[in-house]
């Protein structure tokens, strides 16, 4: 395992802020003048950052959020850089970012304040957990821009909330508040703005203190569940537990339980 890394990421990004501390990496979308709308540069940088965090030994949890009270208003349709890249090529890059987030082997939390619209909404939903402030707003805004749903929304939404609710969100493109989002079933918690940071920090710390290998395996099992039969799921669980029992972390967990103390996990 590499030496612990704290503070700002050594790389400098034009559209992102990346900080690491105590096993938690926080990726902040940082284009507040556009409500953190994603331009070509942001998509490129997100792909690079997510790939690096997936490999980083010192990172156990990834938090995705937005700067200055907004999450992400979607793709920046006024981006002049888009004129220099074929649309299909650009959408493949967007797709690669979506895959990188879904495939992240570590737990991810979306901390949503303000607007999460279009690709910004689906960026939040691609995280494992979604925590929103009570002033957060969500919209599959695409239809109002003459576009169809993207960033994996056509695949993810029916799995999260069912086909008919997904169609309601996508075809009508309404803006819903955080309370409605929780009723739809794609937000885990809704909190007053003043409590949002502390709550997410607590969840992130709890996840960072957990057993990395076991959490990664559980995440993979849950993500694969819609494509597996019960028999396949049981076989996959058996293989995962076999891996866990071969780790020092499981020995540590059992020893700590017997000794009545908190376990210390090291991901090995």
**Rounded Cα gap, residues 10 and 15, in angstroms:** 15
- What pLDDT is recorded for position 10? 64
Residue 7: phi and psi, rounded to 5, are: 85, -160
Co-location of 171 and 250 in the same domain: no
CATH number at residue 239: 1.10.12
Co-location of 160 and 218 in the same domain: no
Co-location of 73 and 183 in the same domain: yes
- What pLDDT is recorded for position 123? 98
Q: Tell me the residue length of the chain.
A: 268
The pLDDT > 90 percentage for the chain reads 90
Co-location of 81 and 101 in the same domain: yes
**Rounded Cα gap, residues 109 and 131, in angstroms:** 7
Mean pLDDT of 178-201: 97
Residue 158 lies in a domain: yes
**Rounded Cα gap, residues 212 and 207, in angstroms:** 8
pTM for this entry: 0.93
Residue 184 lies in a domain: yes
Co-location of 45 and 90 in the same domain: yes
Co-location of 55 and 107 in the same domain: yes
CATH number at residue 43: 3.90.226.10
Co-location of 224 and 151 in the same domain: no
- When divided into structural domains, the chain yields a total of 2
Summarize pLDDT for 18-29 with one digit per residue, the tens: 999 999 999 999
**Rounded Cα gap, residues 45 and 18, in angstroms:** 11
Residue 82, pLDDT above cutoff 90: no
- What pLDDT is recorded for position 77? 86
Residue 1, pLDDT above cutoff 50: no
Residue 5, pLDDT above cutoff 50: no
Mean pLDDT of 181-204: 98
Residue numbers of the domain that contains 221: 212-259
Co-location of 108 and 15 in the same domain: yes
**Rounded Cα gap, residues 57 and 64, in angstroms:** 18
DSSP state of 70: -
Co-location of 237 and 164 in the same domain: no
């Amino acid at each position: 395992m590499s030496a612990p890394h704290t503070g700002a990421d050594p790389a400098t990004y034009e559209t992102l802020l990346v900080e690491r501390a105590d096993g938690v990496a926080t990726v902040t979308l940082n284009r507040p003048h556009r409500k953190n709308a994603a331009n070509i540069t942001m998509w490129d940088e997100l792909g690079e950052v997510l790939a690096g965090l997936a490999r980083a030994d010192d990172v156990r949890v990834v938090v995705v959020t937005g700067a200055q009270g907004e999450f992400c208003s979607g793709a920046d349709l006024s981006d002049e850089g888009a004129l220099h890249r074929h649309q299909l090529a650009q959408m493949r890059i967007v797709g690669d970012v979506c895959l990188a987030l879904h495939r992240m082997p570590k737990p991810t939390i979306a901390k949503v304040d303000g607007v999460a619209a279009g690709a910004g909404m689906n960026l939040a939903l691609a995280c494992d957990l979604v925590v929103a402030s009570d002033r957060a707003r969500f919209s599959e805004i695409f239809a109002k821009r003459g576009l169809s749903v993207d960033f994996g929304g056509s695949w993810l939404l029916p799995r999260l909330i069912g086909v008919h609710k997904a169609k309601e969100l996508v075809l009508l493109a309404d803006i819903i508040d955080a309370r409605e989002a929780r009723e739809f079933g794609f937000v885990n918690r809704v909190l007053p703005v003043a409590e949002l940071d502390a709550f997410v920090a607590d969840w992130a710390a709890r996840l960072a203190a957990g057993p990395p290998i076991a959490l990664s395996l559980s995440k993979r099992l849950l993500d694969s569940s819609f494509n597996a039969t019960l028999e396949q799921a049981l076989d996959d669980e058996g293989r995962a537990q076999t891996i866990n029992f071969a780790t020092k972390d499981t020995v540590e967990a059992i020893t700590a339980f017997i000794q009545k103390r908190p376990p210390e996990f090291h991901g090995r």
